Amino acid sequence: MGFDLDVVVVGGCGHVGLPLAIAFADRGLQVASYDIDLRAAAKVASGEMPFDEPGAPEVLRRVIAAGRLQAGTDAAVVSRAENIVVVVGTPVDEHLNPDPQAVPAAVEAIAGELRPGQLLVLRSTVYPGVTALVEHVVERLGVAVDVAFCPERIAEGKALTELFELPQIVSGRNEAALTRARKLFEVLTNETVELLPEEAELAKLFTNTYRYLKFALANQLYMMANDFGLDYERIRRGVTHNYPRAADLPGAGFAAGPCLLKDTMQLAAFNNNNFVLGHAAMMVNEGLPLYLVDRLARRYDLSRMTVGILGMAFKAESDDTRSSLAYKLKRILRFKAAGVLCADPYVKSDGSLVPAEELLERSDLVVIGAPHRRYSEMTIEKPVVDIWGVRGDGVMV
């Protein structure tokens, strides 16, 4: 059967799906972004990004104008594409339980659109065993579709460079699925790494867990140094200067966002909740805002002060507030301080934010909540707490 589209991305207007769709289209493929989010799909169809991603707006406009990318909410488009890439969200719930059914459910929802000869690529970060689960779904449907698992490893904000630069992990149970997946991702990069599906599922979770644990180590070392009355950044400079074995020791900061904690907890759940290092990392990273406020409360009578938080996104130069620890800091301060004001030039989803000038005017104390570059040079005439070290004035609190 012939297909008039090369790729349809299911979840194609999300933070991962949209850059991927844009990248494929920019490399000359005929692509569709299929999503259940009406607002996001309408924006994309009109050539507008629903969220910030550096470099993406120009390319999106270009591929829409060239007729190589379409976006919509009609699942029928799935039947027209040779390759279906599923990259829907896979969050853990409020009790940190993963939902192994998130991806199979998205596949079930498009079951009526599957056609013989298609390649179904799972791209979400999944609970180990989900690829096999989807293979069973496809088998039960009785439609001759190859299944591959090729995890996304970009960092938000770098998607449009990393999609072309990072090696792509590709996996499939049989030669046909593997070869087809490799061919698809070779459109983006000439470096692929082949694994078995279960190896690839763990590889993705190990990647994010490794990062999460590294940040936890840095944060714990930061707290140790700080409790001892020393500046972690000065020590880190000593550790890392021309010393390759420790060159990747991170600075302190909030390890937050939609992926790192979530994926560490997926791995913990997979290992029967027996993941001492993962859970310890969670306690350190999630505990950092509490530690900060505790330290501040020793120095200041917070009950009489207004505290300003500069930066609410989960990381620098981002508009994404998902699982941002700046919001946890805000919740703690609202309980302890007389007032809390928050500002972020990138975030558009929070009507309670105030302009930075107003925050600086009305606050007695300022905490950097996200290390946006602009804060490094900003004139601030109030005490500043900067655990990230963006201002270069020390990180002690």
Nearest partner of 295 among 359, 233, 229, 341, judged by Cα:
229
User: What does the DSSP assignment read for 163-217?
Assistant: HHHSPEEEEESSHHHHHHHHHHHTTT-S-EEEE-HHHHHHHHHHHHHHHHHHHHH
User: Interface with ligand NAD by CB under 6 A: which range of 36-44, 232-240, 307-315, 374-382?
Assistant: 36-44
> CB of residue 128 vs ligand NAD: minimum separation in angstroms?
13
**Taking CB under 6 A as the criterion, which residues in 151-190 touch ligand NAD?**
152, 154-156
Q: How far apart are CA 343 and CA 314, in angstroms?
A: 13
Distance CA 15, CA 159 (A): 9
Stretch that binds ligand NAD, among 8-16, 186-194, 291-299, 339-347 (CB under 6 A): 8-16
From residue 106 to residue 145, what is the string marking binding to ligand NAD with x (rule CB under 6 A)?
Answer: x--x--------------xx--------------------
Q: By C-beta, is 131 or 220 nearer to ligand NAD?
A: 131
Please tell me whether residue 323 binds ligand NAD under the rule CB under 6 A: no
363's tokens = 């606050």
Q: Which is nearer to ligand NAD, 17 or 172 (CB)?
A: 17
Are the C-beta atoms of residues 201 and 270 closer than 8 Å to each other?
no
Residues 13/50, Cβ–Cβ less than 8 Å: yes
Binding flag, residue 259, ligand NAD (CB under 6 A): yes
- Candidate segments 7-15, 92-100, 211-219, 294-302, binder of ligand NAD by CB under 6 A: 7-15
Tokens for 118?
């298609």
| 16 makes contact with ligand NAD (CB under 6 A) | yes
Q: What counts of helices (H) and strands (E) characterise the chain?
A: 13, 12
| Strand order across the 384-385 sheet | 339-343, 306-310, 365-368, 384-385
Other CB atoms within 10 Å distance of the CB of residue 38: 11
Residue nearest to ligand NAD (CB): 14
Residues 41-100 that bind ligand NAD (CB under 6 A): 87-90
According to CB under 6 A, which one of 40, 130, 216, 265 is a site residue for ligand NAD?
40
Is 104 among the residues that bind ligand NAD (CB under 6 A)? no
11 makes contact with ligand NAD (CB under 6 A): yes
Least gap, CB of 208 to ligand NAD (angstroms):
8
Residue 270 corresponds to which amino acid? F
CB 94 within 8 A of CB 62: no
15 is a contact residue toward ligand NAD (CB under 6 A): yes
Site size for ligand NAD, by CB under 6 A?
26
Residues that bind ligand NAD (CB under 6 A): 10-11, 13-17, 34-37, 40, 87-90, 106, 109, 124-125, 152, 154-156, 258-259
